Amino acid sequence: MNTRAAGRQAVQWILRIATSPVRSSVQPGRRHVWLLQPPSTACRLLCSSTGQSPLQSAPHNHKPAAFPRQPVTELSRCALLDMGFTDIQAEEVYETVSKAKGANASKHALSTLTALFVLGLNPSTVLKMLQKSPELYGVKDSQLHQRIGNLRKLGLVEGSLQRVVVHHPQILTMPVKRIKNVVIFLREKCMFTGQQVTDILRDSPAVVEENPAQLEYKFQYVYFRMGVKQAEMVKSRLFRFTLDEVRSRHCFLERRGQYQTPDKKGQTIIINPKLNDILCADQAAYLTDIAKASAEEYDVFQKLMVREWKEEDQRQSYTEDDSDDDEEEGEEHNEEDEETGGRSGYMKRRKK
């Protein structure tokens, strides 16, 4: 289903829910009148299990009510069924919205579901997204459209956009400003191209939630310590992995003499394994094909690394107390940073 067809179908759903015309009883000397059913009446008629026709009149002692001509603005089980949810799925969505704290969830749920259906997503996929990120129920319609539009501006075209929001629906709950700040950081601090940033967002959308300081350190570690360039980082989906995962596998190879930091010319005495092979292989394949070591050796190494990292953190906290003594050396380091692209700052932190 393409986006345009999905949009038409979504609009038809809303119109069917909002306007359910039922003809009133004909009385002598009066014209036929068409009335709009309120949500409660329409739902009762549509979902009735008695098989009674919606046009069958109620007992004659009841006078026709003057129903308001207003569109449906609240979610109901019948509205969910009409959207394509199964009975069980509709009940789950309805109960989740009903139990949500505050009025935002019930107020914005209908517009949220409509926006997701307009993207061409099916009911089962939409339900999985809402299970991953219930906060979506409370997102305003204008905010949701703004965030989807911003992702399109960043290069996530049809197909890629759906893949991102399904895999990481939390991205639709984040302000546009936060996404833009991450993009600026990746382009200006990490020197990724526009297309590379788009690829990172497509393959590793959780990067937008990562702590900026940790994100910067991870990039610098792989760039300076491992000597890996931006193109290979994107290919290996670096930002799917935590800093500890990257350091653990890299340091294990380095201490076994199987990985070497390139010199200033990018040369090494040995042939380093590719970053993609180091990170993307499962542990068994990594140990067998890359490290050529046993699981017991790697397990002992990881425990030792955890101890070393804790000691580094302690030393860093002690060093921060004496940071005032380093201010006089600031100008010298600034000149060095300009020549090495910030490498001295990374090396200084690594030594702490």
Asked whether the beta carbons of 79 and 17 are under 8 A apart, the reply is: yes
In this model, does residue 70 exceed pLDDT 80? no
Per-residue pLDDT band for 97 (boundaries 50, 70, 90) equals confident
Q: Can you tell me which residue has the tokens 């959308």?
A: 205
Q: How many helices (H) and strands (E) does the chain have?
A: 18, 2
Other Cβ atoms less than 10 A from the Cβ of 296: the count is 9
Look up residue 21 and give its DSSP letter: E
Tokens of 174: 């984040």
CA angle 193, 199, 205 (to 5 degrees): 120
CA 248 to each of CA 41, 73, 228, 283, 304: distance values in angstroms, whole numbers, following the listed order? 63, 53, 16, 12, 10
Helix, strand or coil, per DSSP, at residue 34:
strand
Report which of 119, 96, 95, 103 is spatially closest to residue 169, judged by C-alpha positions. 119
Global confidence as pTM: 0.71
Residue 103 — φ and ψ, nearest 5°?
Answer: -95, -10
State the Cα–Cα distance between residues 230 and 264, nearest whole angstrom: 17
**What CATH fold (topology level) applies to the domain 210-319+341-352?**
Transcription termination factor 3, mitochondrial (1.25.70)
Residue 57 — φ and ψ, nearest 5°?
Answer: -80, 155
- The tens digit of pLDDT for each residue in 255-311 reads 999 999 999 888 999 999 999 999 999 999 999 999 999 999 999 999 999 998 888
Domain residue spans of the chain: 1-21+70-139, 141-206, 210-319+341-352
Asked whether the beta carbons of 238 and 218 are under 8 A apart, the reply is: yes
- CA 303 to chain CA centroid, nearest Å: 32
CA angle 328, 331, 335 (to 5 degrees): 150
Report which of 32, 33, 58 is spatially closest to residue 45, judged by C-alpha positions. 58
- The tens digit of pLDDT for each residue in 112-163 reads 999 999 999 999 999 999 999 999 988 999 999 999 999 999 999 999 999 9
In this model, does residue 236 exceed pLDDT 80? yes
**What is the average per-residue pLDDT within 331-346?**
50
